[in-house]
Structures are given as C-alpha cells and as structure tokens.
Amino acid sequence: MGMNVADALVEAAVRAGVLRVYGVIGDSLNPVGDAIRRNGGAAVGSCPP
C-alpha cells in the first residue's frame, strides 16, 4: 500500500523537527494519530488532571 496523506504529513513534520503535536484525536484525526504511532511516536491522548 502506498503512503497516505496522514503518513506524508507526519513524515514532513518529523523532517522539520517537530517533537510534539497537540490536538483532540477523534474521527477525522484518527488517521494522523495512527500515522504518528506507525512512525514511532506515542500518540498519547490524555492530559494529567
């Protein structure tokens, strides 16, 4: 399977030196979270109280 848009976005962010991405994962952003995980990132979605 070829690269999808989320994978390309994450790859470009990694090349640019991005270390953290903040956002609410759900529905339309699930592919981005999956791409982060595939690229070796944590994609943790919770905030401490």
Q: Is residue 10 part of a domain?
A: yes
Q: Give the C-alpha separation, 41 to 19, whole Å.
A: 9
Q: Is residue 49 part of a domain?
A: no
Q: What pLDDT, on the 0 to 100 scale, is given for residue 22?
A: 84
Give the pLDDT band (50/70/90) at residue 4. Answer: very high
Q: Is residue 45 part of a domain?
A: no
CA 29 and chain centroid, separation: 8
Q: Is residue 34 part of a domain?
A: yes
> At residue 18, does pLDDT exceed 60?
yes
Domain that holds residue 30: 5-38
Report how many domains make up the chain: 1
Give the pLDDT band (50/70/90) at residue 23. Answer: confident
Model-level pTM?
Answer: 0.75
Average pLDDT value for residue range 6-34: 88
Dihedral of CA 33/34/40/43: which sign? positive
